[in-house]
Amino acid sequence: MSFFYYWDFMSRGPGSSCIVSLFLGRFWFWEDLWVRDGKILDPEKLFFDEQGFADRRVDCGGSIVAPGFIDVQINGGYGVDFSQPTEDVAAGVSLVAKKVLEHGVTSFCPTLVTSPPAVYHQVLPQVQVHDGGPDGAGVLGFHLEGPFISPEKKGAHPERYLRTFRSGGMEDLTEVYGGLDGVAMVTLAPELPHSQSVVRMLCQKGIAVSLGHSVANLSQAEDAVQHGASFITHLFNAMLPFHHRDPGIVGLLTSDRIPAGRTVFYGMIADGIHTNPAALRIAHRAHPAGLVLVTDAIAAMGLHPGRHPLGQQVIEIQGLHAYVSGTKTLSGSIATMDMCVRHLKQASGCSVEEALEAASLHPAQLLGISQKKGNLDYGADADLVLVDDALRVRTTYISGEEVWRRDA
C-alpha cells in the first residue's frame, strides 16, 4: 500500500490534501486529508461549497500519518533542566522544543520537580503557553510535580523542599509557586491534610490534578478523583505497591467509584526500565483507554553517560538508567517519546493504533484539548507525524508545515 501527501495552495488560501492511512476512533481510513490555515478541513465542504482543489503533492513513501505526539511530563533534555533557574529559562525550553521534533513531539508540558519557592517564582513567569512551529514544539503549560508530595515516596525529589498544605487554601499554592498562570498540571499526594480542597480549587481553574509520589490508599485516591483529580503520575513508580486488600492508587484503574462520564488517565514511562513489561501489560489490559505515555526525560536525554543536574539533585547516567548520584534510586529517564511508543507496542502486544493514541489522543483528552490536538478530526490542528511500519518518525508537521524530516 502506498501513501501520498499533498501540500497545496487552493484558490481561497493556503491548503493541503493527502491520501493517507488515518486512524480515527481506532478505525483505519484510506482517504484524503485536507489542511488549510493549519487546520484539518472537511473535504465535502471544501469541494461542494468552495469548489476548492489542491495543487501540491508530496509522496509519503508508505508512511502512516498520525496525530503529533504530546508529552505531559518532561523535565528537560539535551543539557537543559527546566528546574534550574537561569537568566533565560525560555531559551532552554526552546532548545528542547526544537530537538523533540525529531521524536514526533509537537507539544509538551515542561515539568518542574520539587524545588524551593524561589525557583518557581523565577522560572514560571519566563515561559508562556504558545503554539508550536518551525522553531519547536508548542508549550501547553507547566507540569508542577511537587513539592506537595509524600516524604515516604519522594523518589529523587529532595526531602528538604517538600511541603504540606497548611489550610487547603490558595495561599498554600501561591506562597510556593508564586502564581498559577501557565500551569497545566500539578502532581500532589492526596493523603496530605487539606488536599481535597486544593484538588477542587485547581480543577475549577482548569488545571489537571495528578496523584503521585504518594502513600495514599484506594479510598483516599478515589476521594481525590471525586473532587476532580484525573491523572496518575508514572503509575507503579513512587507509590504503594499493589496489594490485594488495598490496591492503593493503582486500584483507580478498575475502581467502581469513578464518576460517570469521567476517565482516570495514568502515565507510563515505557522505557523498559521503570516498569517491567508484565506490569505494563497488566495496566494496558486493565484500562487501555487511560494509558498516557510520558518520557519523564531529564537533562541527560540526548547526552552521553555521566553526571547531570535534575533540579536540586545530581543524576548519574549508567547505560539507559538515570540514578540519583551515589544511589540506585531511579530519577526520570533518558527515553524519547518515539522510543516509548515502540516499546509499548512491543511489550504489551497492543495495536499500532493503541500505541499511537497513548502518545497523542489520550494526553490531549487528559488536558481537555482533544477538540484541537491529538486527533485528525475536522477542525483539529494539523499537527502530524509520519511514521514507518516500525513506528520510527520520518517527518513531523505542525499546523500543516513541515518542521522536521529524517535524513534518508
Is 386 part of any known ligand binding site?
no
- Contact in structure between 103 and 394 (CB atoms under 8 Å): no
First-to-final CA distance of the chain: 20
- Grid coordinates in use for 166? 497548611
Amino acid at 365: Q
B/e letters for 305-318, b = 16+ CB within 10 Å, e = fewer, are eeebbbbbbebbbe
Element (H, E) at 219: helix 218-226
Is 361 part of any known ligand binding site?
no
Is 375 part of any known ligand binding site?
no
| Cell 467502581, located at residue | 256
66: CB partners within 8 A, 6+ apart: 23, 356, 360, 376, 384, 385, 386, 387
Is 284 part of any known ligand binding site?
no
Q: Is 202 left (phi over 0), alpha (psi -120 to 50) or beta?
A: alpha
Q: Active-site residue numbers?
A: 296
Compute φ and ψ for 39, nearest 5 degrees.
-120, 150
Sign of the four-CA dihedral 6, 9, 10, 16: positive
Q: CA nearest 370: which of 41, 67, 47? A: 67
Is 54 part of any known ligand binding site?
no
Is 238 part of any known ligand binding site?
yes
- Contact in structure between 22 and 382 (CB atoms under 8 Å): no
Is 237 part of any known ligand binding site?
yes
Q: Is 391 left (phi over 0), alpha (psi -120 to 50) or beta?
A: left
Q: At how many degrees (to 10) do helices 170-177 and 195-204 cross?
A: 80
Instruction: Give me Rg for the CA atoms of the chain.
Output: 21
The SS3 assignment for 385 reads: strand
Is 244 part of any known ligand binding site?
no
* DSSP-assigned letters across all residues of 162-178: ----SSSSHHHHHHHHS
Is 260 part of any known ligand binding site?
no
Amino acid at 256: D
- Grid coordinates in use for 69? 505526539
DSSP strand pairing (142-145 vs 384-387): unpaired
Element (H, E) at 141: none
DSSP strand pairing (138-139 vs 231-232): unpaired
Residues marked as binding for Zn(2+)?
145, 213, 234
Q: Which residues are annotated as a binding site for substrate?
A: 156, 237-238, 245, 274, 330-332
Annotated binding site: 145, 156, 213, 234, 237-238, 245, 274, 330-332
